[in-house]
Amino acid sequence: MASAKKKATLFSSASSSPSSSSSPSSCCAVDSAVSAAPAAAAAANVVQEWTVASRDRRDDQRATKAAMASLIHPVDSLPDTSTAAPSTKGIQILPRAQTSHPLDPLSAAEISVAVATVRAAGATPEVRDGMRFVEVVLLEPDKHVVALADAYFFPPFQPSLLPRTKGGPVIPTKLPPRRARLIVYNKKSNETSVWIVELSEVHAVTRGGHHRGKVISSKVVPDVQPPMDAMEYAECEAVVKDFPPFREAMKKRGIEDMELVMVDPWCVGYHSDADAPSRRLAKPLIFCRTESDCPMENGYARPVEGIYVLVDMQKMKVIEFEDCKFVPLPLADPLRNYTPGETRGGVDRSDVKPLQIVQPEGPSFRVNGCFVEWQKWNFRIGFTPKEGLVIYSVAYVDGSRGRRPVAHRLSFVEMVVPYGDPNDPHYRKNAFDAGEDGLGKNAHSLKKGCDCLGYIKYFDAHFTNFTGGVETIENCVCLHEEDHGILWKHQDWRTGLAEVRRSRRLTVSFICTVANYEYGFYWHFYQDGKIEAEVKLTGILSLGALQPGEFRKYGTMIAPGLYAPVHQHFFVARMDMAVDCKPGEAFNQVVEVNAKVEEPGENNVHNNAFYAEETLLKTELQAMRDCNPFTARHWIVRNTRTVNRTGQLTGYKLVPGSNCLPLAGSEAKFLRRAAFLKHNLWVTRYAPDEMFPGGEFPNQNPRAGEGLATWVKQDRPLEETDIVCFWNYPCPSIGRLACYASGAHWFHANAAWIL
């Protein structure tokens, strides 16, 4: 099992934090969870009965799971005290004319209407029959539409945020209709198209209202392949298992029961013209279980090497096959599995006592639809198939200074996992898990595990499947509070007076599984004004098999005949900033800060002097930056028109965590598609179509440097403009036994497995 986490403080406030702390540390349909009264729920869980393991371990496991489940309290949306329509200058503001905020994710009904509208617009029955729906998402409106909605139609009802115009505010009677953006793959023609559909809400007294759609535009995007779909993966596995030469190759390895075989289709990337997007291709990796009727069996512990398979995913057939070399299947290691009955091995863990999360008065957050208020923070929650969790309209309510915007939009827009083993098949493993697959589409329903504890607000997520049906992931996003140690403390040594404040944070998260790996994405909001992005890596490594007695320096031996190839995980966060910018304002800039050692001389006679030197990043090419721990380098997004009480410009600071650049050579094939990994930080001027750093369609993309590396060639000015920051932070994975069998080569078995 792999376990790691990466986090960066995105962002801590610079010059604008209202807190005295100086810590430098680093969907959604409303869910249907039934709420219990907070006080009653807390009272019911004040005492928990925990016992030592019984003779029947299954009884003990059931009791443990029941006790853990009792610590989870779903909550309904809490009432909003500001739902009354506001007024400005004596003018009564019209009540809401729409039921969905312009930034709310598409509902299941809207997705169905969008799909039906596009399907009906197909030119011929053959075209309609070939349509496969890769993605149906909200076409996010212009920022001024969002500002109108927040001012007059939806919480937080802030008409004062809008710029004042001569003659008073112009109050709209309704907002523009919502629009859907669809990516459609035609399986018969191998074409990818993008459609825009307008969704009009039609109110019918007898039917309670319904939606209708109208095609606004459609275009074919040449020379691309869209992300793969789960239905394609299942079809590919079946096709490979039924291929006679493959069955014969598995028979040579002692496997005749195809129920034991796992076929994981991987996108081919782009290594040569043979990978061009004129064909929709996959090169599967093969694994083998030891027990076909055991769902707990870890098949990823037995990789099958030496078999090369190429599948045409459009025609769904094997087009190339070779049994290259015979590598024995790794033995069934007794430590390969991870379920309690398999790993505890009779170890008594009654030393783990219950740790309860009790909030007798309920949570401190408030939820109205997708709008969240907590302490001084407020924001909106969204979700997309590619990015997963999206945070919109982040703002901090700062006393008499009112609602101060921080960011328009925060999300993880790509994740790249290049491997460092030059041998086949590992050299071609360079997954773009967002662009080739989808972080959101692979998200978990958190009702299946104790991923969050305490009082929880869940949000559902709706997607289209490949054939155009709507699928819902219930309890996809988790919102809850966490204790986070002390926020600050001081004791006066003369008087003995001590003051301490505990730190609490609001966490919004989701977890996804992409084949063998799990990724938990977390956005933490702190009471001292910090925002922290964190990714937790867990799951199972993508392993390789070895010949008897073979050792490979490009990985770590973790069991006889089994090794973990070295690799890196790169996570790319996109941050559309709005520091102290009201709607329509663009007064942000980015400065780089480095610690500078003062030259010896009359100003530094003791040779101890250093100071913080600031450099304004004036253009996009100048703003391709890298970390430098030797100068404590960081960056500040500033507002050029707002100052704090000392006269300093207000801003938010990007504080990098541990970091590195790609460890591969500069001519590595995967860097053709991932040129954005060559720098830690990229700053661009906002453009609505510049969302994904490797371009919208990285799958089999033959165009070198598409995305960020191309956008910044415009070298647009970055002074007093709408700033977008793309931040890369990697997690190098040089395998250790903790990832599979023991902690840092010290234990005989992974110490976490017996919990």
- pLDDT reported for residue 356: 87
DSSP state of 384: E
Question: Under a CB-based contact definition with an 8 Å cutoff, are residues 299 and 267 in contact?
Answer: no
In a domain, 310, yes or no: no
As for how many domains the chain has, the answer is 1
Strand 261-264's sheet: what is its strand order? 261-264, 285-288, 303-304
Helix (H) or strand (E) holding 391: strand 388-397
Within a domain: residue 405?
A: yes
In a domain, residue 144? The reply is no
Q: Are 410 and 390 in contact (CB under 8 A)?
A: yes
Residues marked as catalytic:
433, 517
CA distances from 476 to 54, 111, 590, 619 (A): 34, 18, 35, 39
Predicted confidence at residue 351, as pLDDT, reads: 86
pLDDT in tens, 103-142: 999 999 999 999 999 999 998 999 999 999 999 999 999 9
Q: Are strands 72-74 and 454-464 parallel, antiparallel or unpaired?
A: parallel
pLDDT tens column, 306-344: 999 999 999 999 999 999 999 999 888 777 777 766 554
Please give the mean pLDDT across all residues of the chain. 84
Burial 418-443 (b: 16+ CB within 10 A, else e): bbbbeeebbbbbbbbbbbbbbbbbbb
pLDDT for the residue 626: 97
Residue 297 is assigned to a structural domain of this protein: no
Report d(CA 362, CA 456) in Å as an integer. Answer: 10
User: What DSSP string describes 473-530?
Assistant: EEEEEEEEEEEEEEEEEEE-TTT--EEEEEEEEEEEEEEEEETTEEEEEEEEEETTS-
d(CA 629, CA 631): 5
pLDDT at 341: 61
For 355-401, the pLDDT digits (tens) are 888 999 999 999 999 999 999 999 999 999 999 999 999 999 998 88
C-alpha to C-alpha distance for 461 and 474, rounded to whole angstroms:
7
Query: ∠160-166-171 over CA atoms, to 5°?
Result: 55
Please tell me the predicted confidence (pLDDT) of residue 56: 43
DSSP bridge pairs for 724: 576, 684
Beta-bridge partner residues of 12: 653
Q: Does residue 635 register a pLDDT over 90?
A: yes
pLDDT band at residue 99 under the 50/70/90 scheme? confident
CA atoms within 13 A of residue 72's CA, in its CB half-sphere: 21
The DSSP bridge pattern shows strands 531-539 and 210-221 to be unpaired
What the block records as the tokens of 217 is 């535009």
Position 565 confidence tier, pLDDT thresholds 50, 70, 90: very high
Give residue-wise pLDDT tens across range 175-234.
899 999 999 999 999 999 999 999 986 544 434 455 679 999 999 999 999 999 999 999
Which has more confidence, 351 or 273? Answer: 273
Summarize pLDDT for 450-490 with one digit per residue, the tens.
Answer: 688 889 999 999 999 999 999 999 999 999 999 999 999 99
Region 598-625: mean pLDDT is 97
Query: Would you say residue 77 has pLDDT above 60?
Result: no
CA distances from 521 to 269, 486, 526, 572, 615 (A): 25, 24, 16, 12, 32
Q: Report the amino acid identity of residue 275.
A: D
User: Cβ atoms within 10 A of the Cβ of 140, count?
Assistant: 21
> Residue 337: what pLDDT?
76
Whether 497 contacts 363, CB under 8 Å: no
Under DSSP, is residue 297 helix (H, G, I), strand (E, B) or coil? coil
Q: How many H-runs (helices) and E-runs (strands) does the chain carry?
A: 10, 37
Place 681 in a pLDDT band, splitting at 50, 70 and 90.
very high
- CB within 8 Å of 473: residues ≥ 6 apart: 443, 444, 445, 460, 461, 462, 463
- Range in 4-13, 402-411, 557-566, 663-672 the model is least confident about: 4-13
Residue 377 domain flag: yes
Q: Output the domain CATH number for residue 618.
A: 2.70.98.20
Is 528 inside a domain boundary? yes
The answer to whether the CB of 181 falls within 8 A of the CB of 137 is yes
The percentage of the chain sitting over the pLDDT mark of 90, rounded to a whole number, equals: 66
Task: Say if residue 425 is preceded by a cis peptide, omega within 30 of 0.
Answer: yes
Of the listed ranges 536-540, 715-719, 742-746, the one predicted with least confidence? 742-746
Which pLDDT belongs to residue 294?
67
Range of the domain at 508: 4-37+357-745
Q: How many CB atoms lie within 10 A of CB 403?
A: 17
Predicted confidence band of residue 4 (pLDDT cuts 50, 70, 90): low
**Residue 96 clears pLDDT 80, i.e. is over it:** no
Chain CA centroid to CA 168, Å: 42
Its pTM stands at 0.86
At 200 the pLDDT is: 81
Terminal Cα-to-Cα distance of the chain (whole angstroms) = 14
Tell me how far apart the alpha carbons of residues 550 and 541 are, in angstroms, rounded to a whole number.
20
Percent of the chain whose pLDDT exceeds 70: 79
Cis peptide, bond prior to residue 11, ω within 30 of zero: yes
pLDDT of amino acid 211: 64
Confidence of residue 409 (pLDDT cuts 50, 70, 90): very high
Q: What is the pLDDT of residue 14?
A: 55
pLDDT grade for 290, boundaries at 50, 70 and 90: confident
In a domain, 168, yes or no: no
Domain assignment present for 693: yes
